[in-house]
Amino acid sequence: MPDSDPSQGSSQRDPASSFQSGRRTEGANSPVTQEVKRCQLYFGPARCHSMKQDKDRSTVVGTKFAESKNERDLFCKAKRRPSTSRILLLFFSVCSALALIVLSSTPKECHAARSLRPLIHIVRRGETLSGIALHYRVSIAQLRRWNGLHGDKILEGQHLQLWRKSPSKSYFVRSGDTLTEIGIKFRVSISLLRRLNDISEDRIYAGQRLILRPATTPEETRQARTAEENERFEYVVKHGDTLSEIAARFHVGLGFLRQLNSLTNDIIFPGQRLRLRPSSLDEPVHIVRPGDTLSSIAKKYRIRISDLVELNGIEGSRILVGQELRLTKRPVHMYIVERGDALWEIGRAYGISVTELKRINGLTDDEIYPGQKLQLPIQQPEYLDTYVVKKGDYLGRIARLHQMSIADLKRINGLRSSLVYPGEELKVNPLLNKGREWPKISKINWDDLAVSLRGVRKIEAGNGPYYNYSPKATYQKSRDYYENPSTSPLKSYRQARRLWKAFENEVDSLGYLSNVLRGWHIVLDPGHGGLDPGAIVENLDGNGNKVYVVEDEYVYDIALRVYVLLRLHGAEVTMTLLSPNHLLRHSDPPTQTFVNEKNEVYNSYEFNRRNCLQSWPSGGSNGNLSYRVRIARNAFKKVPRNHRIFLSFHADIEPESPDATVILYYRSKKRHYIDFASKNFAQSILSALGAGAYARGQYLGVLKRNPAGVKIVLEVRNLAYTDAAWAIRFEQLRYRDAEKIVKGVLDYVRNLH
């Protein structure tokens, strides 16, 4: 998971200079002392213990960090005697030169990769490792490996090496991809792609893992075979197979299987290739990518440009990167599944039971797929909701939010132009988190959970409210912008606890929806936070203007909404992090994005009483992620292991992964151990999370030695995709994310009984 550097700078003061344990000693501002502090901040106090705080500049090997890992180690462990350090550095330099001579004399074909010269990136003030990775389109793991980094902490002025990427071995298909485009992008022939992936008719599927190069090691062969076993997109009929058996084996509804393969009956033949999923071009929407034009999109999906223009209310031919274009008109009595849709919320939105939906569509379970067409009851009237236009709204945003085309929105409301005005009421498709069932939830006024405390100032804002103090900026200004904490960790903790107690009382006043989770204790861990903002991504609003999304600020909001819903069903819930100046926040307008404030604290007095820099949450190998596990251990003390759940929330940048919610369960580095209890939990909640969601094992520190019976990391959205970064900015869609997660937990617990 990407973590960032607590020492990143901006126009604000450095946290390292704001909070130091103990009193400031004489000479604390000397060059040597400052170098020691920088070293400790980068490598941790343990690795810099031998550096002495001396006023003599000659004590330190140099005033800049060395380029390589070995040189950095020498810098951090330098002794008082300058002669010894210089001798060591001279010895290392000679060894490096000899190594280069040896490599240069080695045959070129043996060391082709090493002969390439790296690109050098000099870290600027405020940059994060995740931001640099996103800029150069490389993974954070690659950046760490190339530069010998154990965590994600980087310093201003540090030189990072970026090596030319070796040819990718595989690629996850995105919605809208074609085999030809992938072949051109990776310089692989179409015939090789077909052969390596057993593809016929050039049909590929969103989320499918395509092999781009022949396997060269047994490990690569095993990984390819494992990926194929985990997800099947097509099936070749064998002797003795029946259509109903195939449907049951691959969890595909019989009616859907017929629909996918244009079958009028259940007769199949050995050798016949059956589709098990909609293809990458079957989804009802297209997210505009760089280089897209109306003509290229129309050609790809085999529709007329005039239809594309009419469906999306396009004036002229201008389209924006990240814009969502609808590709088909939805019939009144049919619903076309979009990425993230869940069967239960479709049924609830249209007042139909899941059982009835499954019966009408011949489904055997609750799993559905993007692009799948679901029949609604013929007698079902066209059910519409009402939306009140807000300041800053425009027709394209309203249509996209309610999964409609602009043409349909105009038709239903009798609009002749795309102009709308604040206060105007529009008829819209129901949001999938608004329905006729669970009326108590739909009546929750989230504004009522805004607390009022004597002596605590409440500050209203479009991206608030805030308490005690608000950010100086009204929105996230850039990828590099942040605001340092205005108080010490201990004072921030006390402010946060007082705010949280008032919030808990407000939630208690709501009563209960059920007691399904009574006796269960759930720990919610908002990812990153404190000194670590996580991913910070650039996105575009509807007018093409840049906006910036900060991961930890948004996943904290989702975690709070999950907290409220879990409590309504009787669960005991503990948060690992708290904020001293906000609880639930609005996004009105969504362009007023949450600001990167480095002020969250651990929800434990034990970790804040030292009142120093290390008290703030931080990640990486020198960070304090283990505190989250210790908070969980304290929370679970008197709870049976089979009634403990740990949920960690993230929305990271994973350009090599599909655009979908992913659930990560623990798997050891060498894959010798898999947490099967958590794996089963992850797989059981996939259908609640919606179409496209998937689960996989990964080695993650926050799950290692975690005392919960089941523990997972939820990558709620993949911010490498513009549509995901767009959606997370909307309060309604964050609430929808939270409700899906809680629905999955409820289903899991109910199925245990």
Mean pLDDT confidence for 261-286: 88
Q: pLDDT of 628-662, one tens digit each? A: 999 999 999 999 999 999 999 999 888 767 788 99
- Quote the pLDDT of residue 41: 43
pLDDT digit string, tens, across residues 32-73: 444 444 444 434 444 444 333 333 333 333 333 333 334 333
Write down the pLDDT at residue 617. Answer: 94
Q: What is the pLDDT of residue 568?
A: 93
* Residue 290: pLDDT over 60: yes
Q: Is residue 632 part of a domain?
A: yes
Q: Residue 239: inside a domain, yes or no? A: no
Written as one letter, the residue type at 329 is K
pLDDT of residue 377: 81
| pLDDT band, very low/low/confident/very high, at 328 (cuts 50, 70, 90) | confident
Q: How large is the angle between the packed helices 69-76 and 31-43, nearest 10 degrees?
A: 130
Q: Which of 130-134, 509-513, 537-541 shows the lowest per-residue confidence on average (mean pLDDT)? A: 130-134
Angle between helix axes 179-186 and 190-197 (nearest 10 degrees) is 110
- Asked if residue 304 has pLDDT above 50, the reply is yes
Minimum mean pLDDT among 195-199, 227-231, 436-440, 460-464: which range? Answer: 436-440
Domain termination site, one of 113, 131, 162: 162
CATH code of 456's domain: 3.40.630.40
Residue 112: pLDDT above 50?
no
Q: State the pLDDT confidence band at 566, using cuts at 50, 70 and 90.
A: very high
> CA torsion, points 706, 133, 691, 553, in degrees to nearest 10?
60
Q: Is the predicted pLDDT of residue 1 greater than 90, yes or no? A: no
Q: What is the pLDDT of residues 80-91, one digit of tens each?
A: 344 555 555 555
Predicted local confidence at residue 382, as pLDDT: 60
In terms of pTM, does the model score above 0.95? no
C-beta separation of 56 from 32 below 8 A? yes
Answer with the residue of higher pLDDT: 94 or 240: 240
What's the pLDDT at 2? Answer: 39
pLDDT of residue 9: 38
Residue 681 falls inside a structural domain: yes
pLDDT reported for residue 501: 96
pLDDT tens figures, 518-543: 999 999 999 999 999 999 998 887 67
Give a yes or no: residue 380 inside a domain: no
Q: What tokens appear for 127 in the block?
A: 């940059």
- The predicted structure's pLDDT at residue 345: 86
Q: How far apart are CA 566 and CA 560, in angstroms?
A: 10
| Cα Rg of the chain, angstroms | 28
> Is 483 part of a structural domain of the chain?
yes
pLDDT at 689: 94
Under 8 Å between Cβ of 221 and 215: yes
Residue 587 has pLDDT above 80, yes or no: yes
Mean pLDDT of 419-439: 68
Contact in structure between 467 and 499 (CB atoms under 8 Å): yes
Query: What value does the mean pLDDT take over residues 666-677?
Result: 88
pLDDT in tens, 464-502: 999 999 999 999 999 889 999 989 999 999 999 999 999
Residue 105 has pLDDT above 50, yes or no: no
Q: Which residue did the predictor score with more confidence, 28 or 359?
A: 359
> Is the pLDDT reported for residue 28 higher than 70?
no
Residue 647: closest CA among 500, 517, 536 = 517
The residue out of 116, 137, 162 marking a domain boundary is 162
pLDDT at 440 over 80: no
- C-alpha 476: how far from its chain's center? 18
Count of domains observed in the chain: 2
Give me the mean pLDDT over the 679-695 stretch. Answer: 92
pLDDT confidence tier of residue 379, bands split at 50, 70 and 90: low
How many whole angstroms separate alpha carbon 750 and alpha carbon 520? 12
Domain end marker among 162, 180, 198: 162
Q: Which of 323-337, 438-452, 467-481, 586-600 has the lowest mean pLDDT?
A: 438-452
Q: Please, what is the end-to-end C-alpha distance for the chain in angstroms? A: 35
Q: Within a 13 Å sphere around the CA of 436, how many CA atoms are in the beta-carbon half?
A: 8
Look at the alpha carbons of 617, 621, 622, 626 in this order and tell me if their dihedral is positive or negative. positive
How far apart are alpha carbons 4 and 102 in whole angstroms? Answer: 37
268 falls within a domain: no
Question: What range does the domain containing 156 cover?
Answer: 15-162
Query: Does residue 129 belong to any structural domain of this protein?
Result: yes
Task: Establish if 132 belongs to a structural domain.
Answer: yes
What pLDDT score does 332 carry?
72
> For the chain, what is the mean pLDDT?
79
Tell me, what's the pLDDT at 713? 97
Beta bridge partners of 307: none
